[in-house]
Structure 1
Amino acid sequence: MNTKEKGLTTGPWSLTDQGQLAELKLKNKPYDLDSWETLIKEAQTSALIRGRMLFEKLVERFPTCGRFWRIYIEQEMRQQNYEEVEQLFQRCLLNVLSLDLWRCYIGYIKDTKRAQDGYREKLVQAYEFALDHIGFDPCSGGIWLEYCSFVKSGEVQGTYAETQKVTAVRKIFQRALGVPLISIEQVWKEYNIFEQEVDEVLAKKLADEYLRQYATMKRCSKEYDSFSRQLNKLSPAIPPMGTTQEHTQLQLWKRYLTWEKSNPTRTEDKTLLAKKVMFGYKQCLLVYGHHPDIWYEAVSYLENASKSANDRGDNTLAKQFEEDAREMYSTAITNVMKGNLLINFSFADFEEWHGNSEAVTGIYESLLKVEEIDCTLVYIQFMKSARRTGGIKTARSVFKRAREDPRCGWQVYVAAALMEYYCSRDKNITFKIFELGMKKHGDEPGYVLAYLDYLMHQTDDNNTRVLYERVLSSMPVESTQEIWEKFMDFESSVGDLTGLIKVEKRRGVAMKDELKGNSTVLLVDRFRYLDLFPCSNTELLSMGYPVKDKSGSVGLYSDQQGSSGRDWLLARPDLNQMMPYKPSAAKGVGMNAVPGGTFPLPTACATMLLQIPPPDCYKGPFVQVDELLTLLEKVDLKQSSSTDHSAVSSTTAGKKRTAAQDQDGKDDDKNQSIPQNDIYRARQQKRVHMATT
């Protein structure tokens, strides 16, 4: 590596501000696809060496993404680095069954081998190589048709050669008709045209022979297309994120895999069925290779297929399926599942089941070299496996290594001690291991509780009490909550009331800061048993005894409830009433406008606004609200009140006089002449006259 290349590896790779920002983001989020896309665009326009460095990091992070491999290869092809291109194909083709990547491979053969001798033979080999690996893909119909067209276009001389060419094309078509291709109708049409051109009589016979197979594949193609349209086959494999989209895609993939396992083509060839199912799993793992359940399901299918073949007496096929399962495990733990404990443990059990003890040891040894994982569980499973394969002495040697490893936790001491107790039946060794662990992990509440459980099951009351006193006198108070609870349970079960009350008082003194004078909670702990309490949940909460939900344990103190246990009394916002905020530049009708966006109005207000006419229906006049309020502020209410009172009095008196005058003048009104145009008064006078007569 020259000086220029060394400089590129030590500092930031990107030369742009946007690219350097993406690099900084990738340090915290190494699978951030947007940042990688930014760097890919820069790499495609960079110098060869700089671009190659970025692409190597890219395919190292996403080794199963066919799109990223194709971009890398096309970058090298543009520079005519054909030797490098072929090395890249060797690295990725067999492991990445991506249709686009294999199309790129065929295109490379066409472009670079055309001028060489034996070009047609090399291209035929490329097509065969590609279809052997991706020919089961329902979307590979284009490659099948290209292959048929290429073979048909070959010029041959002589009847024998022509017959050989026709036979070769016919076999390709018939192989394609055995796959539920999306373009199966076009393949069938092209096949019929081909046979008609060769021999019409034979064409009719072959069409009748393959018609049923075509109908089956057409049905399967439609079934596949019904749920595969939403399948995302191009996304890079990233660790599980728990998103809704991820869950939906996983369900679609599992539906597809279940469909493949159901043998929709009704083939009787078990090997062919297994190839189709495993092709589906490999396609799924290109996108969800970080999900251990997909790997395990794939291997389990192969193991079941091996067992079924063995039951049928086909030992050769059973051995083949077994080797395929072993290869699948090896592929997993050497790539994205390298540090996954579940798959490594499953692989170790697989090898142990088949009697390969050396392979089992190699798996655990390789796993212990991975620095990113917690090796405690690895040592525990290694001990158990070593005991099964090599006996208790072999397991003890693994435990010795675990004690010397500073990364190992206290759980390995508990596992080793209980293994000695249940397997060798030697209580002295068990006791020594527990005491050895107390020297190193005596301040771990979990370890102390495990040790206490062992002693209590041995009915060794004296040593149990000694251990309680020893731990409670040396451990910090904030770490002794569960130990005090277990001590009270112990005294309640095997001691007398005097001893129980003494322990209760000592607990109250030791944890007085946490109890804050609330001694009733100690009484509750005295009488509770498992998840049974002497009070209702409401009563417990009222006295400051926090109770967790059914999914959690019940204890005296909880970080979520606070040290006082009365946080439940505090008012909490009702998050169900939160309204969605919608950024908007314009203010919509019926929306509560705020700077930068709008909030929906309450349901009642929104319903009322929908029922009344919209604002544009009112043309005016419009009240000047500010001026109206200013005018109301200037009104003297006291003066206005006295004036209104006098006005009301004079008005009342005036009304009385008017009423009297009206009563006196009723008779006169009868004799008054009525205007000619007053129809209302004429009718009224007529009714009065008719009533009196």
Structure 2
Amino acid sequence: MADNYSVEAAELLANEALHLPILEAVPIYEQLLATFPTAAKYWKQYVEAHMAVNNDDATKQLFSRCLLNCLQIPLWRCYIRFIRKVNEKKGVEGLEETRKAFDFMLSYVGADIASGPVWMEYITFLKSMPMRVQAQSTQEESQRMTAVRKAYQKAIVTPTHHVEQLWKDYENFENSVSRALAKGLVSEYQPKYNSARAVYREQKKYVDEIDWNMLAVPPSGSYKEELQWMAWKRFLAFEKGNPQRIDSTSANKRIAFTYEQCLMYLYHYPDIWYDYATWHAKSGAVDSAIKVFQRALKALPDSEMLKYAYAELEESRGAIQVEQPAKKVYESLLGDGVNATALSHIQYIRFLRRTEGVEAARKYFLDARKSPNCTYHVFVAYAMMAFCLDKDPKVAHNVFEVGLKRFMHEPGYILE
């Protein structure tokens, strides 16, 4: 593993940055986060360093860089703290901004098992919103109660560490509003809450196996990494089973959320990116799958497996788009052609035949075979394609003949 992924060195740097003035700490944080872009704890520390000296613009910038890739409760609570602070003196407008920020936050991390305190904070915030004019008080009070009720009703059907407390609070809330109405509402939500609580107890077993402090490093094959990879796989399988029997849109949102969290830790694992993109594609969300592949290739630009999978998906979208993303991916795998692998030649020939026809594939093969790095596998693949797909035994025979002159000393070729 490359030295710059040393966890010990990263922790030392983070600790050093903690005790430096912000201007001196910035390059350290930037270095850390260039290596560990999904390390929520370092983003949080970086943000808090700016918040401590009231660098509001810098803080906003940082949040815009990290929030959507780091779906982690402590970081997002830090965001809410910041939003509340900058809006506290802005009156009604500030309160509305804060409410929107809570909604934004809960739409991203409201499904987290640790989101209970966020729901509680949001509900407390809604309850405390002041009313403006006495004449409007009845209507406003009614709207406020409706908003609080809606928040509670979302919170009590979410499996979190605080689901039982939230349920008790909800019962008290409904009884304080109207005992007559409370009975009906409580009995309506009781089974939904029971289901959330049961799922929480199951979910907790999977969550407890995960190391939430782990930094995303390239896999080195260690036993601990293997355990974490397996723990995440089990957790994802659990979520995919839709244990709460919620509607498919909500279930898919939960699964996507779990994948996003998983990638904060298994950022360098091509199979996780691949599974995530494939899951999207199978769910019919091809555009989302494409976006995941694009992110994956930014994270792992050297992964050939991801490139081939991405090219295949782009190609499967039907009509060849003007910008031909699939072709570009295949061309990137060929590079300058000098160091191209046999596999990249073969896959490109097959791609050309599928998309541009037999002649385009033939032309490329004639060029590729001149390359000093072109192995016998390319000849075999092209000959078999001509024979099996183009039904042209003559071309196949000729290719094998030409190859024989060049690869006479290759037992593998003779056997083919």
TM-score, length basis structure 1: 0.54
CA distance in 1, matches of 2:185, 2:223: 49
Alignment of 1:224-623 (within 5 A): 224-267=203-246, 269-306=247-284, 321-334=285-298, 336-357=299-320, 358-368=324-334, 375-399=341-365, 402=368, 411-420=377-386, 422=388, 423=390, 424-425=392-393, 426=395, 427-433=397-403, 435=405, 448-454=410-416
Residue 124, structure 1, aligned to residue 88, structure 2: no
Q: Quickly say closer, same or farther: Cα 1:219–1:383, change in 2 above 3 A.
A: same
Distance 1:328 1:189, change over 3 A: same
> Conserved in 2, the CA contact under 8 Å of 1:418 and 1:430?
no
The alignment yields a C-alpha RMSD, in angstroms, of 2.6
Deviation at 1:433, TM superposition (A): 4.9
Q: Percent identity?
A: 33
Amino acid across the alignment from 1:225? K
**TM superposition shift of 1:430:** 3.9
The structure with the greater share of residues assigned to helix is: 2
| Deviates further, 389-398 or 168-177 | 389-398
Asked whether the equivalents of residues 380 and 415 of structure 1 are also in contact (C-alpha less than 8 Å), the reply is: yes
- Report the CA distance between 1:451 and its aligned residue: 2.9
Q: Distance in 2 between matches of 1:432 and 1:239?
A: 43
1:272 Cα deviation from its structure 2 partner: 1.1
Matched, 1:60 2:23: no
Distance in 1, Cα, partners of 2:312 & 2:399: 28
The 1:362/1:165 distance shift into structure 2, 3 A limit, reads same
Distance 2:365 2:35 in 1: 35
SS of equivalent to 1:94? helix
Tell me what 2:79 maps to: 105
CA drift of 1:251 comes to 2.1
What is the DSSP-based 3-state SS (H/G/I as helix, E as strand, rest coil) of the residue aligned with 1:225? helix
Opposite residue 104 of structure 2, the aligned amino acid is F
The one-letter amino acid paired with 2:274 is: Y
- Contact 2:379–2:399, Cα closer than 8 Å, also in 1: no
Residue 8 (structure 2) pairs with residue 42 (structure 1) = no
Higher relative contact order (CA 8 A, sep 6+): 2
The separation in 2 between residues aligned to 1:396 and 1:53, in whole angstroms, is 53
Unaligned stretches of 5+ in structure 2? none
The 8 Å contact of residues 417 and 430 in structure 1, kept in 2 or not, is answered as yes
Amino acid at match of 1:282: E
Cα distance, 1:397 vs structure 2 = 4.4
- 1: CA distance between counterparts of 2:262 and 2:72? 11
SS of alignment partner, residue 244 of structure 2: coil
The separation in 1 between residues aligned to 2:29 and 2:114, in whole angstroms, is: 28
State the secondary structure of the residue aligned to 1:138. coil
Amino acid at match of 1:451: Y
Q: Distance in 2 between matches of 1:96 and 1:206?
A: 36
**CA–CA distance in structure 1, aligned partners of residues 253 and 333 of structure 2:** 30
- Provide the rounded CA distance (Å) in 2 between the counterparts of 1:406 and 1:43: 51
Residues 411 and 214 of structure 1: CA distance in aligned 2, closer, same or farther (over 3 Å): same
Q: Is the 8 A contact 1:138 1:182 kept in 2?
A: yes
> Does 1:182 find its partner at 2:182?
no
User: How many angstroms apart in 2 are the aligned matches of 1:377 and 1:192?
Assistant: 64
Shift of 1:86: 1.5
**Counterpart of 1:11?**
none
Q: Secondary structure at the match of 1:30?
A: helix
SS at match of 1:236: coil
CA contact (8 A) 1:421 1:430 kept: no
Structure 1 CA distance for aligned equivalents of residues 177 and 15 of structure 2: 51
Shift of residue 252, structure 1, vs aligned partner: 1.9
Q: Distance in 2 between matches of 1:109 and 1:62?
A: 25
What is the CA-CA distance between 1:359 and the residue it aligns to? 2.1
Please say if 1:90 is aligned against 2:59: no
For 1:77 and 1:404, the matched residues in 2 are separated by 61
Q: How far 1:48 moved relative to its partner?
A: 4.1
CA pair 408-190 structure 1, distance change in 2 beyond 3 A: farther
**Cα 1:413–1:137, aligned 2, differ >3 Å: closer, same or farther?**
same
- Give the TM-score normalised by the residue count of structure 2: 0.88
Could you tell me how far apart the structure 1 residues matched to 2:218 and 2:365 are? 32
Contact 2:380 2:400 in 1 (8 A): no
How far does the alpha carbon of each residue in 1:266-302 deviate from its partner, in whole angstroms, 9 at most, with x for none? Answer: 12x2111111111111111111122222222223322
Distance 1:126 1:35, change over 3 A: same
Which residue in the other structure is 1:607 paired with? none
Matched, 1:139 2:117: no
Distance 1:76 1:400, change over 3 A: farther
Matches within 5 A, 1:609-688: none
Q: CA deviation at 1:453?
A: 2.2
Structure 1 stretches lacking a partner, 5+ long: 1-25, 307-320, 455-693
Q: Is the 8 A contact 1:416 1:433 kept in 2?
A: no
Is 2:121 the counterpart of 1:151?
Answer: no
Alignment check: 8 A CA contact 1:148 1:169 kept: yes
Letter of the 1:122 partner, please give it. Answer: E
Secondary structure in 2 matching 1:201: helix
Offset from partner CA, 1:640-687 (integer Å, 9 cap, x none): xxxxxxxxxxxxxxxxxxxxxxxxxxxxxxxxxxxxxxxxxxxxxxxx
Alpha-carbon distance, 1:303 to partner: 2.8
Cα 1:114/1:339, change in 2 over 3 Å: same
Larger displacement relative to structure 2 (246-255 or 38-47): 38-47
Give 3-state SS (helix, strand or coil) of 1:181's partner.
coil
Cα shift at 1:126: 0.8
Q: Shift of residue 255 of structure 1?
A: 1.7
With over 3 angstroms needed to count, the CA separation of the structure-2 counterparts of 1:429 and 1:77, relative to structure 1, is same
Q: 1:161 to 1:234 in 2, by over 3 A?
A: same
User: 1:151, CA displacement in angstroms?
Assistant: 0.5
Which segment drifts farther, 374-383 or 217-226?
374-383
